[in-house]
Amino acid sequence: MNRLYRIGLTFVIIALTVTQTSCKANDSLFTIPFLLYDDVTVLKVRINDSEPLNFIFDSGTTTSLIDSVTAMKIGLISTQSEGLMLSNDYQEMPLAKIKTIKAGNVTINDRPVIIEHSFENYFRIMGIPIHGIIGLDFFGKYITEIDFDKLQIKLGTNIDTSGFLPIKAIIHNALFYVDASIFTTIHDSISHRFLFDTGDMTSISLAEPFWKNNNLLSKCKSYYSGINRSSSGSSSATYFGSFEKIGFYNYHFNGVYINMTSANRGFFANDTIAGTIGIDILKRFTIIFDLNNEKIYIKPNGKFNDPYRINTTGLRARLNKDITQCIIEAVLQHSPAEQAGINTGDVLISINGIDANSRNISQIRQLTRSKPGTKLLFIIKRGNEQKEMELTSKEFSDL
């Protein structure tokens, strides 16, 4: 899910008023449940006593955002504007003030929020409406723990870190960066600074200056090329490459494909960073963010050995704009999908009997990343004709 970064940040940590009826302020522990939709972390949030709204928790953004239609519905009015890097393009965005935000047993008062034009594209990816994004600034002065096993976020002044590996974080604009390494061979590696980013739906995404300056495309074990389309709807030419392994601190990851995206401006055109560590790696840990002490604590969880998100069919599908059909929007060259005869623009009816509708879109997208060797029966519609096409998922490249 591609990044939203603040330009000219005028507020980094704003004093928050947090209330809870049953706990004292100094020993309080607040809990916010969340759900994972295709590895997107979604919280239920009430704004100014609204009905529950779906907000994504994104540690890669420093301010909260709200969909413009939702803002209008609940009566949010912009009083000023704020600079924002949106889909690698700088824009002046309207800024409003929220009286109260409630999530779990936490109430936070008087928060600024950017009003974004639309989060419609998330619906097309996930099958549920998304009304906004919450960044780390939401949690402010509290230590924040993300537990992907229990699907909950905890806030407190003293969270138990026993059994966790402490990492000295690099803090910039209230965002957490760490050093990580890409091993091109068993003995050779390249290290640089990466953003810890729960809003990135990949494992690792590399900034263009980093992967080009280090000639990483030629050092891949294998790669395939295609179009990377962000959750905001923008697209860019991308290479998906495999390396010997990825490592940060005591942990190493094998069999991970890394996004190497083209970008002319914004975060992924920045030559001072390597890129982002995304949700496909971060979900394998319980993570504690301690902004005041500039530390991250990590501990492997029950998802640590889960398969990685690797496209083994070579196609990309999402719902159309009115959410009535699932469309094949890209087919990669030399992939199982291309060899099976599936075309861009085909309407996907089902995979292995699972209907390709808004209720099942996350499951459909997971099927496109099936374990290599999995037989998949696609039913597609092309014009007025319905076709059955069978393919076997596999790792592939265009080398």
Q: What is the pLDDT of residues 55-80, one digit of tens each?
A: 999 998 878 899 999 999 999 988 77
* pLDDT grade for 7, boundaries at 50, 70 and 90: very low
- What pLDDT score was predicted for residue 234? 53
* Alpha helices (H) along the chain: 68-73, 120-126, 208-213, 216-219, 279-282, 336-340, 361-367
Q: What is the pLDDT of residues 354-377, one digit of tens each?
A: 999 988 998 999 999 999 999 999
Global pTM reads 0.85
Mean pLDDT of the region 290-314: 91
Please determine, for residue 307, whether its predicted confidence score (pLDDT) is greater than 90. no
Tokens 């060797």 map to which residue? 373
- What pLDDT score was predicted for residue 78? 82
* pLDDT grade for 91, boundaries at 50, 70 and 90: low
Helix, strand or coil for residue 156?
A: strand
Exposed e or buried b per residue across 258-297, where buried means at least 16 C-beta atoms within 10 angstroms of its C-beta: bbbbebeebbbebeebbbbbbbbbbbbbbbbbbbeeebbb
Dihedral sign for Cα atoms in the order 307, 310, 314, 318: positive
- What pLDDT score was predicted for residue 112? 86
CA 10, CA 218: separation in Å to the nearest integer? 41
CA angle, 394 as apex, 390 and 398 as ends, to 5°?
A: 110
Comparing 318 with 230, the larger pLDDT belongs to 318
Question: In angstroms, how far is CA 222 from the centroid of its own chain?
Answer: 24
Greatest Cα-to-Cα distance within the chain, rounded to the nearest angstrom: 66
Dihedral sign for Cα atoms in the order 347, 352, 357, 360: negative
* pLDDT grade for 297, boundaries at 50, 70 and 90: very high
* pLDDT grade for 291, boundaries at 50, 70 and 90: confident
Sketch out the chain's domains with CATH numbers.
4-156 (2.40.70.10), 166-296 (2.40.70.10), 315-392 (2.30.42.10)
Instruction: Report the candidate in 244, 213, 239, 237 with the shortest Cα–Cα distance to residue 224.
Output: 239
Mean pLDDT of the region 38-52: 93
DSSP one-letter code for 63 = S
Give the rounded percent of residues in the chain with a pLDDT score beyond 70. Answer: 86
CA 363, CA 357: separation in Å to the nearest integer? 10
160-164, 252-256, 276-280, 393-397, range with the lowest pLDDT:
393-397
Phi-psi region of 75 (alpha: psi -120 to 50; beta: other; left: phi over 0): left
